Amino acid sequence: MELFEVYPLYDVTPVKALGSTVWDKNNQQYLDLYGGHGVISVGHSHPKYVEKLTAQLNKIGFYSNAVQNPLQQQLAGKLGSVSNCEDYNLFLCNSGTEANENALKVASFVTGKSRVISFENSFHGRTSASVSITDNKKIQATINRFNPVTILPLNELFLLEKALEKGDVCAVIIEGIQGVGGLDEGTTKFFKGMEQLCWKYEALLIVDEIQSGYGRSGAFFAYQHHQIKPDIVTVAKGMGNGYPMAGVLIHETIKASLGMLGTTFGGNHLACVAGLAVLEIIEEEGLLKNVTDVSNYFVRQVKTIDAVKNIKGKGLMIGLEFENEVGDLRRKLIYEEHIFTGGATNKKMLRILPPLNITFNEIDVFITALKKLV
């Protein structure tokens, strides 16, 4: 059997990784400023993460959600305290798109309505409801076009109210900071206004923190820069540092009922231990502070490079906009300078999503390489 080829691939075969360094099969070393689409939060193969996962695998790796698994409650408790979201309950699942599917389903269950409002350039995943609210027609099949969805420009409260007034909206969903769409974000005025309007028109406010969460913006969640309280928050990527897992944080005012949501794999023993290790490392190593410190340094250095026309994002979720398309630059960064970076829908943007414990020295390596190439 051959693979169903859906991914354009770089000719690199990683076989080993540690911290922000990746080695390929020829033992060539790379600096990882992309973390495999923002997944690596506490660094590749962090010793504590490896130790905890290995120990758990030697005990029990999986049993279903039909029996007690106290690790799930430990994870929920830890996530509540580290993120300052103790008044939320946690539903565990397996991927970002699944977290958003469940969030939307809860919103529809709770309100009895079905229309969703999302925003231009948004990305919320590739499955049924998630892809229908994603602003990218190319990845929607005919079967994905039946959900009632309204896609609005960011930061237009007037248009948002006009859409909500119709009374059929179950949820407004917004990324804390847009990811692949190009690092645009709502203003504090917009987030606060959106929160008010959702209350007024009885729609739930869902913040998709799948990429912007878990410390990446310098706050645990990017929405926390705006002092709002969403009804639902979705998380994935950095949550498991590479172990596939995701979560839906549901405000405690929304009541669960048995059978309302479910999954076979979600919240399994290994996932919980991966999630716990990530949170302990974030806390013990003060990674939120590191994100802010390194980000400030990074932005100062990048501002000295004339070819960079615009810097977007927060913390270690940064978009560098150039005059021209960056495809060639990214190839040179990989093949000549051995540095992984990311792209965006905006072809002129280089996306930087390194592990949260990246060092100043590693940033210097990138800055030197970038200066050389531009």
The label of the residue with tokens 């079967």 reads 143
Q: C-beta of 89: minimal distance to ligand PLP in Å?
A: 21
Output the smallest distance, CB 343 to ligand PLP, in A: 12
User: Which residues make up the interface to ligand PLP (CB under 6 A)?
Assistant: 37, 95-97, 100, 123-125, 175, 179, 208, 210-211, 236
Q: How far is 159 from 174, CA to CA, in rounded Å?
A: 15
Closest by alpha carbon to 349, among 311, 320, 316? 320
The distance of closest approach from Cβ of residue 180 to ligand PLP in the complex, given in angstroms and rounded to an integer, is 6
Nearer to ligand PLP, 40 or 370 (CB): 40
> Closest Cα to residue 351, out of 24, 35, 122, 126?
35
Backbone phi and psi for residue 137, each to the nearest 5 degrees, phi listed first: -60, -30
Distance in angstroms (rounded) separating the CA atoms of residues 264 and 256: 18
Q: Which is nearer to ligand PLP, 76 or 233 (CB)?
A: 233
Q: How far is the CB of 276 from ligand PLP (least distance, A)?
A: 20
Nearer to ligand PLP, 56 or 212 (CB): 212
> By C-alpha distance, which of 224, 171, 235, 178 is closest to 201?
171
| Neighbouring residues of 265: CB distance < 8 A, sequence distance ≥ 6 | 62, 94, 271
CB of 136 to ligand PLP, least distance (A): 12
CA distance 113 to 186: 25
Q: Which is nearer to ligand PLP, 125 or 319 (CB)?
A: 125
Q: In terms of CB distance, is 32 or 175 closer to ligand PLP?
A: 175
Dist CA 346 CA 306 (whole Å):
19
Cβ count near 220 (within 10 Å): 21
The distance of closest approach from Cβ of residue 220 to ligand PLP in the complex, given in angstroms and rounded to an integer, is 16
Q: How near is the Cβ of 135 to ligand PLP at its closest, in Å?
A: 12
CA distances from 40 to 4, 8, 188, 216, 353 (A): 26, 21, 28, 10, 9
Question: Whose Cβ is closer to ligand PLP: residue 34's or residue 123's?
Answer: 123
DSSP string, 221-236: SGGGGGT---SEEEE-
Smallest distance, Å, CB 206 to ligand PLP? 11
Which C-beta is closer to ligand PLP: that of 278 or that of 370? Answer: 278
Q: Which of 33, 85, 27 is nearest to 319 (CA)?
A: 33
Residue in the shown chain whose Cβ atom is closest to ligand PLP: 96
Nearer to ligand PLP, 102 or 211 (CB): 211
